[in-house]
Structure 1
C-alpha cells in the first residue's frame, strides 16, 4: 500500500514529467495536483474539460445549469406549440395556417437536435447510527510497548487516550506500525509491556481490506447480514444495507456479482450494524470513487462516535480529521497543524518543494 510520503513523491514527479499522461484515480487531491485536463465518461460519451479536478467540477456545474435552462425553455416551447396545434389545427383558415407554421417550426427544432436533459450523478448517502456518549477515557494507553519479537520493538512508552470526541488520522511511513497500533486498540494484539484500558461498555469496529476476503461471495448482501446477525427481521437487515447505498437487486444478488466498491459498502453496513462507539478505519477508500468517499466523509462528520483513520487520501483526512498523529521512531506524536501542512512537510523532507 502506498503511504502518504510515496503519494507526495509520485504527485510531484508526475507534475514534471514531459509526456502525455492518462490517470485514473479516486484521489481528488492527487488529480488536482497532477491533471491539466479531465475527461468525464457518462452514457457512453466522453466530455473534455480544461483544468484540474476542482475546475472540472465548477465548469461542469455551470455548463449543466445552462443546459438545464435551455432544456426547460425548449420543452416549454414544444409544449406550447403542440397545444396550439391541437387546439387550432382544424380551426379557421388563418388559425390553421398558423398551426401549420408551428408544426414546421417544431419539426425544424427536432431535426436540429434538441437539448438533452441533464443526467445527474447518483448521490450515495451513508449513515451511521448515533450511539450516545460514554464517560472518558474510553480507550487509554499506559506506558505501552510492543514488538513482534522482544528485541525488535515497534513502539515504546506510549501514553495517550482516545475518546468519543476524537477524530484522529494516523500518518507515517509504511512499516511504522499504523495498522499495528489499530490492532493494539482493538485487542487483537496485546502490549509487550504496559496496558491498554478500554471502557467496559466500549464497542469498537474496525474496517480493513482483509474483511473483503472473508465475505462468502456466493451469498447475497442480505443473506450475509442475516447470517452474521441472526434473529433480526429481513426488513431491518434491508434497511441496514440501504443506509450504505445498496438497494433493490444489489441486496439479493450473489456478492460475486457486485463491484469491489459495493462489497466495501456491505462491510460498512456490517460494521455499522454493531453500533460502535469507536470506528477504526484502515484504508477505507481503496475501492470507493470520489463521490462515495465524499458520502463517507459526510456520514462520519454527522456521526457522534470516535474515529481513528489510516488513509493515503489527503482530502478524506482533511475532511474528517481534527488531529494528526505521526507514527515513527517508536512513538506516536501529535502534529501541530493540519494534513495539508503535513503534506508540505513531506515535500520539504523529500526536497520536492518548488
Structure 2
C-alpha cells in the first residue's frame, strides 16, 4: 500500500536513484516494424522534463530525423506540425515505445488505436483504474524512500494528485462526464464496446486517455472522429492539461485554442516556437525574413570579394595584399558557417475542373422525412435545396444524421416520406473518410487510377495525380506504404477526375496537413460547382461555406449566423453546463 501523504519521507542511500534502472542514457533500437532510432538523454533522469539530443529516426531506411533535438517540458502543450509523409505519427510511436531513452517514471499514453471490442461497457473501459493505481502506488512507494530533491518533491505531489483523482468517490462520475463531453449519452455509456463502430471505440480510447491523465499524453489527430460540439469540449478540456501534451493536429483553430508551443518537423529537424499556431506563423515568417536578409547580404559580400580577388589578386603589391586580405575574410566567413537560404516547402496546388452551369433546381428536398425505421425518425419536413453556386456546411452532433443527409442527396438512401429531386444531368462526387480503406494497398497510386479510368494515357494520369501532390517515386509506391494523408490525396485525385458538378465532402480534412487543407479551400473557391461539407474543421468551414444547416432534435434548419457565431454558441452552451455542474 502506498504511504500516507503526510508521512515522513525516509532518507535514501547516498547513491540515490539507480540511473540505469530508470533509463539507459543512450538507446539504439531497430524495430521489426521498420523503425530505427537513436538518441541521448540530456535532461536529469529524475526530471519530469524530457530532453533528447542526437535524435535520429529512420523508417524502412528512409531518414525522418537526423541529429534532432527533442524537448518536452512539463506543463507545456505542444502541437506537432509537418507535411504529409514527413514522419509525425512514426515519431509519436517511437516516443511511446521508448525507442529513445525516456525515463521510466514518465508514463505515456498514445491515442492511435481504438479500445478493443469486448463485453466491457464504455464506462467501465474508461474508469478501469486498478492497473494504473498499482503502477502509481509502486512509484510513490519507491520515491518516498529516496533523498528529497526538488525533482522528487514535484513528482510526489503530482502522484498524490493523480491517485486522489483515481481513488475518489467521484471517479465514475468523472469518467461519465468525459464520455458525455465526447458525445456519449447515458444509454451509450452502458453499451458494450463491441457494439460500437471503430470511430466510436476511438472516442472511448480518447476518453480513457483523458481520464488516466498521464504524465505525457500523445494524441494523433484527436479530433478526427469528433463533431464540432465535441471538438469545442475537447479544446476546453485540453487547454487545462497540466502535464506534457504532444499532439498532431491539422486544425488551426484547435491548435490555437490548446497549444502553448509548436514543434515544426521540417528538413529532418525539430524546430520549436513559443505560442499557439497564429503566433508560430508570425514568428516563423519574421525569422525567415531575417534569415533571407542575412543570406542575401552574405552572398553579396561573397560575390564582391570573389570579384575583387579575381580582378586584383595578381595586380600590384598593394592590390594583391588587399585581395589576399579579402580571401582570408572569405575563408573565415565560410569556416564560421554561412546562413542557409530559406527552404521553401513544396506546396500542393489542388485543382478541380470547372463544369459550367446547370439550371436550378439542381438538388431539392421537398417535405423529406427519414429514419432507419418508422419509429425512429431522424428528421421531418426538410425543405432545402442546393444549386451549383451553393456552399453549404452541415453541422450538428454525431448521430443526428449529417452523413445520412449526404446519402439522401446522392441517392444511396431513400426518404420515408417526401421527395429528393436531382437534375437529370447532375454528376455528384462524394468523399467520405472511409474511402481510403477501399484502396488496394498492393497497387500504386498510378496503377489504381489507371484501373479506375481505363483507356487513359499514362502521362495524363501521372499529371492528374501529380496535381494532388502524388509526385515522383510516390506515384509507383504501393499504397499500403503511403501515409494516411497521401492516401487521402489519391482519393481526391480519383474524385476530381470524375469532373463532378457537385462535391459532397464528409470529413475531407482527416489526415491532410494544414497546407493541403488550405490548398483544398483555394481549389473549392476557384471552382464553379456546388459544395456540401460535413467537417469538424471550423477554419475550413469559414474559408469555403456561406450557408450553415444545423441537424438537431429531428429537424434540419438554417443557422442564422456564420461558423464563428456557431462555435461561440457551442462554447457558451459548454460553459453554462460546466457552471451548472459546479453549482450542483
The corresponding residue for 2:310 is: 86
5 Å-filtered alignment, 1:329-340, equals 329-340=553-564
The corresponding residue for 2:261 is: 37
Distance in 2, Cα, partners of 1:38 & 1:212: 29
The corresponding residue for 2:250 is: 26
Alignment of 1:130 onto 2:363: no
5 Å-filtered alignment, 1:274-289, equals 274-289=498-513
Distance in 2, Cα, partners of 1:147 & 1:68: 60
Give the gaps of 5 or more residues in structure 1: none
SS for the counterpart of 2:455 is: coil
Distance in 2, Cα, partners of 1:24 & 1:224: 29
CA RMSD of the aligned region, Å?
1.5
SS for the counterpart of 2:246 is: coil
The corresponding residue for 1:105 is: 329
**Deviation digits for residues 15-47 of structure 1 (CA, Å, limit 9, x no counterpart):** 233334333211100111111222222223333
* Residue number among 107, 117, 142 corresponding to 2:366 in the alignment: 142
Alignment of 1:171 onto 2:416: no
Distance in 2, Cα, partners of 1:335 & 1:150: 27
Alignment of 1:5 onto 2:5: no
The corresponding residue for 1:252 is: 476
Alignment of 1:68 onto 2:285: no
Shift of 1:248: 2.2
**Deviation digits for residues 92-124 of structure 1 (CA, Å, limit 9, x no counterpart):** 211211111011111111222211111112211
Q: Mean alpha-carbon deviation: is it higher for 47-56 or for 2-11?
A: 47-56
SS for the counterpart of 1:295 is: helix
Alignment of 1:290 onto 2:509: no
Distance in 1, Cα, partners of 2:472 & 2:269: 27
- Runs of 4+ in structure 1 off by over 6 angstroms are none
Distance in 2, Cα, partners of 1:213 & 1:37: 33
Distance in 2, Cα, partners of 1:175 & 1:314: 19
Alignment of 1:300 onto 2:524: yes
**Deviation digits for residues 218-244 of structure 1 (CA, Å, limit 9, x no counterpart):** 112111111111122222222221221
**Deviation digits for residues 244-293 of structure 1 (CA, Å, limit 9, x no counterpart):** 12222222222122221111111111111111111000000111011110
5 Å-filtered alignment, 1:306-345, equals 306-345=530-569
Distance in 1, Cα, partners of 2:439 & 2:258: 36
Distance in 1, Cα, partners of 2:508 & 2:545: 14
SS for the counterpart of 2:364 is: strand
The corresponding residue for 2:241 is: 17
TM-score, normalized by length of structure 1?
0.96
Higher relative contact order (CA 8 A, sep 6+): 1
TM-score, normalized by length of structure 2?
0.59
SS for the counterpart of 1:351 is: helix
**Deviation digits for residues 300-348 of structure 1 (CA, Å, limit 9, x no counterpart):** 1111000000011110011111011100111110001111100010011
Q: Mean alpha-carbon deviation: is it higher for 295-304 or for 237-246?
A: 237-246
Alignment of 1:115 onto 2:339: yes
The corresponding residue for 2:411 is: 187
The corresponding residue for 1:58 is: 282
The alpha-carbon distance between structure 1 residues 156 and 17, as it changes in their structure 2 partners (threshold 3 A), is: same
Distance in 1, Cα, partners of 2:262 & 2:352: 33
Is the contact made by 2:348 and 2:467 (CA closer than 8 Å) also made in structure 1? Answer: no
**Deviation digits for residues 140-187 of structure 1 (CA, Å, limit 9, x no counterpart):** 111111111121111211111111111000000010000111000000
Distance in 1, Cα, partners of 2:357 & 2:469: 27
The corresponding residue for 1:350 is: 574
Shift of 1:131: 0.2
Distance in 2, Cα, partners of 1:16 & 1:215: 39
SS for the counterpart of 1:128 is: coil
The corresponding residue for 1:153 is: 377
Shift of 1:87: 2.5
Alignment of 1:216 onto 2:433: no
Distance in 1, Cα, partners of 2:473 & 2:244: 41
The corresponding residue for 1:228 is: 452
Distance in 1, Cα, partners of 2:343 & 2:390: 39
Distance in 1, Cα, partners of 2:445 & 2:241: 44
Distance in 2, Cα, partners of 1:147 & 1:247: 44
SS for the counterpart of 1:64 is: helix
Aligned residues: 354
SS for the counterpart of 1:350 is: helix
The corresponding residue for 2:425 is: 201
